[in-house]
Amino acid sequence: MRKLLALTAIACAACGDPTEDRAVEALGGEAPGVAPGPLHRPGQPCVTCHGESGVASGEFSVAGTVYFLLREDNPAPNVQVRIKDITGDEVTTTTNEAGNFYVRTDEWRPVFPLQPSIRLGGLKKQMSTHIARAPSCADCHTSPPGPRSPGHIYIATSRAELTDAGVGP
Partner 1 sequence: MTARLLAIGCAAIVGVWLSAACSEAASDVRIGIVSPNASEEAFGPVADFLNHRCGSLDCHGKVGRNLQIWGCEGMRLSPTDASICSRAKGGRRTTPEEHAATYRSLVGLEPVIMSSIVENGGENPELLSFVRKARGTEAHKGGALVVPGDAQDACITTWLAGQTNLKACSDAFAQPKFPPSPSP
Which residues in this chain contact partner 1 in the complex, by CB under 8 A? 70, 84, 86-88, 90, 113, 115, 128-134, 139-140, 145-151, 157
Residue number, 105 or 115, with CB nearest to partner 1: 115
> What's the min distance (Å) between Cβ of 38 and partner 1?
24
> What's the min distance (Å) between Cβ of 60 and partner 1?
16
Residue number, 2 or 148, with CB nearest to partner 1: 148
> What's the min distance (Å) between Cβ of 10 and partner 1?
33
Q: Which DSSP string do the residues of 42-83 spell out, in sequence order? A: TTS-GGGTSSTT-SSSS-EEEEEEEEEETTS--B-TT-EEEE
Residue number, 85 or 98, with CB nearest to partner 1: 85
Rounded to an integer, what distance in angstroms lies between the CA atom of residue 78 and that of residue 155? 11
Rounded to an integer, what distance in angstroms lies between the CA atom of residue 64 and that of residue 75? 11
- Tell me the longest C-alpha to C-alpha distance in the chain: 72
